[in-house]
Amino acid sequence: MHRIDDTDRKILALLQKDASLSSAEVAERIGSSQSPVWRRINAMEKSGVISKKVVIVDAKKAGFGFTVFVRLKLTEHGKNTLSDVEKKLSHLPHVQECQILLGDIDFRLRVVAKDLDDFEKFLEIHLLPLEGIREITSRVVVRNIKDTRELPL
């Protein structure tokens, strides 16, 4: 397990904002040299602290201007039902996030769609036919105020 120290936190804070920075650029910004910074980044990648580097696409500009939070309740809470639904949901490309929750809701999804018709088609094709689902509720996002994956390091 990799223990994160203050230098790692500085590196991670920079990379969370711009993963395209080279180790030399990161080193310059934190007042270090390139080789130790590269070793730290490499160690954090190998240990899984840095799980992946991605490009964040603006959903609206890519034609997905409709975001919906969908909540699912299961008909029963057996291990097989939970596993089956989890597997099916995790492979749906419109689903950007999928969480299993404790409480009165079993799953919470963040779904993107081109428009209301696209979301309705997603519901009809992917969610309504799912076995083991008792109830589906959805909340349409009117406006995004904050959307980040950055941790407060």
Q: Domains plus CATH for the chain? A: 6-47 (1.10.10.10), 66-140 (3.30.70.920)
Identify the band that residue 85 occupies on the pLDDT scale cut at 50, 70 and 90: very high
pTM of the model as a whole: 0.86
Mean pLDDT over 79-93 rounds to: 91
Identify the band that residue 6 occupies on the pLDDT scale cut at 50, 70 and 90: very high
Alpha-carbon gap, residue 14 to 7, rounded angstroms: 11
Element (H, E) at 133: strand 133-140
* Mean pLDDT value across the chain: 95
% of the chain at pLDDT higher than 90: 91
Residue-wise pLDDT for 22-70, tens only, equals 999 999 999 999 999 999 999 999 999 999 999 999 999 999 999 999 9
> Is residue 89 pLDDT above 90, yes or no?
yes
Alpha-carbon gap, residue 22 to 85, rounded angstroms: 41
Specify the length of the chain in residues. Answer: 153
What does the pLDDT read at residue 77?
A: 82
Element (H, E) at 117: helix 116-122
What does the pLDDT read at residue 14?
A: 97
> Is residue 80 pLDDT above 90, yes or no?
no
> Is residue 102 pLDDT above 90, yes or no?
yes
